[in-house]
Amino acid sequence: MTESTGGIDMDEDSSGTIKKFAFVNRKAPYGTIYALESLEVVLISAAFDQDVSLVFADDGVYELKKGQATKSVGMKNFSPTYRALEGYDIEKIFVEKESLDARGLTADDLVVPVEVLTSDEIATLLDEQDVVLSF
């Protein structure tokens, strides 16, 4: 999906600075485009060699649900892309436990291995970031 992101511009002095970026995903897939376009930012961020974490909370945990089949709605199933993140060296994927519990899900229901954290642990993680982009 990177072909649609329009290229990467790295000018000025971006290279060299490493910041902690967290992408917080709180919206379900398909109902709105936010989840998909958030993933596009995540993929681009990999090219900048930043310290990237992905956080899934609230309905955002549905983005990772196994078994998505979008043929009948005529939309692109982008859930396999989460499995490709490892190839981009994006390996810090966190899911809020309370959000999973509230939706009857466990880590086994998700398309990628994740680290399940409590709300308090997510709070600490977010607090440590330099840049938090929430979609």
Partner 1 sequence: MLHIVNKSPSERNTLDSCLRMAKKGSTILLIEDGVYGATKGGVAENKLKAAMADIKVYALWPDLEARGMQDSVIDGIEQVDYNGFVDLVAADKNVQSWL
Partner 2 sequence: MKFGILVNEGPYTHQAADTAYQFAKAVLEKGHEVHRVFFYHDGVNNASKLTEPPQDDRHIVNRWSKLAEEHGLDLVVCVAAGLRRGLVDVNLAPGFRISGLGQLVETGIQADRTVTFGD
108 binds, among partner 1, partner 2, none (CB under 5 to 8 A by kind): none
Q: Which of 98, 90, 91, 105 is nearest to 121 (CA)?
A: 98
> Which amino acid makes up residue 36?
L
10 binds, among partner 2, partner 1, none (CB under 5 to 8 A by kind): partner 2
Asked whether position 134 contacts partner 1 by CB under 8 A, the answer is yes
Instruction: Pull the structure tokens for residue 109.
Output: 């229901």
- Note the residues at the interface with partner 2 (CB under 8 A): 4-14, 17, 19, 21, 33-34, 37, 40-41, 44-45, 47-48, 50, 130-131, 133-135
Angle at 83 between CA 107 and CA 70, to 5 degrees: 90
Q: Which of 124, 131, 123 is nearest to 48 (CA)?
A: 131
72-85 as b/e: b if 16+ CB within 10 A: eeeeeebbebbeeb
Contact with partner 1 (CB under 8 A) among 1, 18, 41, 131: 131
Nearer to partner 2, 33 or 123 (CB): 33
Query: Of residues 43-102, which lie at the interface with partner 1 (CB under 8 A)?
Result: 57-58, 96, 98
Q: How far is Cα 120 from Cα 118, in angstroms, rounded to an integer? A: 5
Nearer to partner 2, 55 or 110 (CB): 55
Q: Which positions touch partner 1 (CB under 8 A)? A: 24, 26-27, 34, 57-58, 96, 98, 119, 122-124, 126-127, 129-132, 134-135
